[in-house]
Amino acid sequence: MFKRKHLILLVLIFSGCSTPEIITSYNTINLSNTQSYINYKNPLIYYLPRNIINVKIEVDKKSFVPGPYAEFAEKLLGIEGVEVEEFIEYEIGNIEIETTAIPDTNQIYVIENENFGKHINFLDLSTAGVLKSINCISEDLDQQVKSKKSYDPKDENEYIPFTDLSIKPNIVEKTERTYSTVKTDTSVIRVPVTKKRIVEKSLEEKAEEAAAFILKLRKRRFKIIAGMYDTHPDGMAVHNMVAELDKLEKEYVSLFIGKTFVKTLNYEFYYDPQPEIDLNHDILFKFSREKGLVEKNEKSRPNIQNPEIAENPVLINVAPITKSYELDEFFTIQKNKFKEKEGFHYREPSLVKIDIIVDMEIVFSQETLMAQYGQLMVLPIDILQDNGIEIRFYEKYGSLKSIKTQ
C-alpha cells in the first residue's frame, strides 16, 4: 500500500494489450509555450520550482530623552555638549536573507505518453504541484511562502525615563519674616512676625543636590577602592559595592546627559528575481534616519518642518555568478544531446550573488543557489526503461538528487 499524502497515483493499465509495448519516449510539453492543456487527454501536469528571496530587516529605533537637569550639566558637572531636545532616529541593523521555492508558472509541463504507467508507478508531487520524485516518496518537506506584516509599534510613551531625581525631599520649609502694624494709645509701631511655609524647590536647587550626590558617590567609591575605611570588606564584597556605586552614579548622571532607548523593529520583504531581465536591481523600501522605513509603494506625507529630509531607497541587486567555460560547454552538450520533448525536464540551479545597497554602499552580500538562473535539463529516457528505478529531485531547486534501483 503506497502512501497517499502528497501523492498522485498514475497507474494506467490498458486492457486488451496482449504484448507489453516498449516505451519509446516520455514527451513533456511546456505549457507556457502552448495555449492550453484542454486538448490533452488525461493530462499529467507538474511544475519546476523557482526561488524567491525573503529579506529580513531589523531597524533600530533610538529614542533620546534629555535629562531634567540638562541645562545645568556644564555648570555643575562640567559636561559640555549635552542635548537638551528630544529626538528619534532610525538605523538599519541586522539583515538576513533566505530563499524559498514556489511553482514556476513559466515551467509547467504536461506529460504525454499513451503507455504511461508501464515503468512508472507513480509521481510524488508537492502540494503546489512541483515534481519531487518518480517511483518513490520524497523525504523533502513542502515549503510554503508565509507573509509577515511589518511590525512598527507606536507606543512612544511606554516608559518613564526618570524617577529617582534626588535622595532629598522635593519640598523645603522656608521661614519668612514680615511686619504687622500695631496701634497703641500713643503711637503706631511695626511688630516683626515670623511665618513658615512649605515650598517646592526650584529646578536648579534640585540639580545642585543631584550633582552634590554624584560627587559624594565618587568620593565614597574612591575610599572603598583605596581602603580608607577602618572596616574594609574583602573579596567579592568590594567588587559588588563598587558595581552598585557605579550603577547609582550612572543613573544620576543620566539626569544631566539624558537617556537613549532602543527598540528593534522587524520587517520582511519578498522579492522575485527575473533571470530574463539583464539587471535585477529593484527598490525594497525607502528609508531615512529621521522617519524610519517606508514601503516603496506607500505615499508618505512630506515633512513640513524639515523638507530636506529625504527617503533614500534601499536596493536589492541579484546577479548570476559567471560560470567557467568548461561548465557552460558541458551544459550546452547535455542540452543538445536529447530532443526537447524527450524525458522529464528538471533544472540545475546556478549560483547568484545578492546585494543589499543603502546610499550606494553594499551593506549586505550573500551567495546562494537559485533555480530560475540555472540550466534546463532533460532526464534521459533510457533510465526510465528499467523497472524499479527511483528518482528523486530537490524540491527547492528542481535539480536531480538521486537515481536508485530497487
As a whole number of angstroms, the distance between CA 282 and CA 273 comes to 9
Tell me the one-letter amino acid at 9: L
Lowest mean pLDDT among 102-111, 133-142, 199-208, 227-236: 133-142
Does pLDDT of 330 surpass 70? no
Does pLDDT of 360 surpass 50? yes
Does pLDDT of 378 surpass 70? yes
Distances (CA, A) of 335 to 18, 292, 361: 37, 49, 39
Distances (CA, A) of 103 to 106, 268, 273: 9, 21, 14
The Cβ of residue 170 has, within 10 Å, a number of other Cβ atoms equal to 11
pLDDT, residue 303, reads 41
Of the pLDDT bands very low, low, confident and very high (cuts 50, 70, 90), residue 256 is very high
Which residue has better confidence, 45 or 31? 45
C-alpha cell read off for 219: 568620593
pLDDT, residue 5, reads 35
Share of the chain above pLDDT 90, in %: 32
The average pLDDT across 19-30 equals 50
Please report the beta strands in 246-291, taking only residues with DSSP state E, as ranges in sequence order.
259-271, 280-288
Does pLDDT of 36 surpass 90? no
Q: What are phi and psi of 228, to 5 degrees?
A: -90, -5
As a whole number of angstroms, the distance between CA 174 and CA 200 comes to 10
Does pLDDT of 1 surpass 80? no
Q: What are phi and psi of 223, to 5 degrees?
A: -65, -35
Does pLDDT of 293 surpass 60? yes
Q: What is the pLDDT of residues 39-69, one digit of tens each?
A: 666 667 888 999 999 999 999 999 999 999 9
DSSP 230: S
Query: Half-sphere exposure of 282 toward its Cβ, with a 13 Å CA cutoff?
Result: 18
The average pLDDT across 149-169 equals 62
C-alpha cell read off for 56: 529580513
Pair 47, 111: CB distance under 8 Å: no
Interhelix angle for 236-257 vs 203-226, to 10°? 160
pLDDT, residue 252, reads 93
Average confidence score pLDDT of the chain? 76
Of the pLDDT bands very low, low, confident and very high (cuts 50, 70, 90), residue 150 is very low
pLDDT, residue 6, reads 37
The Cβ of residue 338 has, within 10 Å, a number of other Cβ atoms equal to 16
388's torsion region: left (phi>0), alpha (psi -120 to 50) or beta? left
Does pLDDT of 363 surpass 50? yes
pLDDT, residue 297, reads 60
Lowest mean pLDDT among 109-123, 190-204, 245-259, 293-307: 293-307
Tell me the one-letter amino acid at 243: A
Distances (CA, A) of 181 to 22, 139, 175, 196: 132, 104, 20, 19
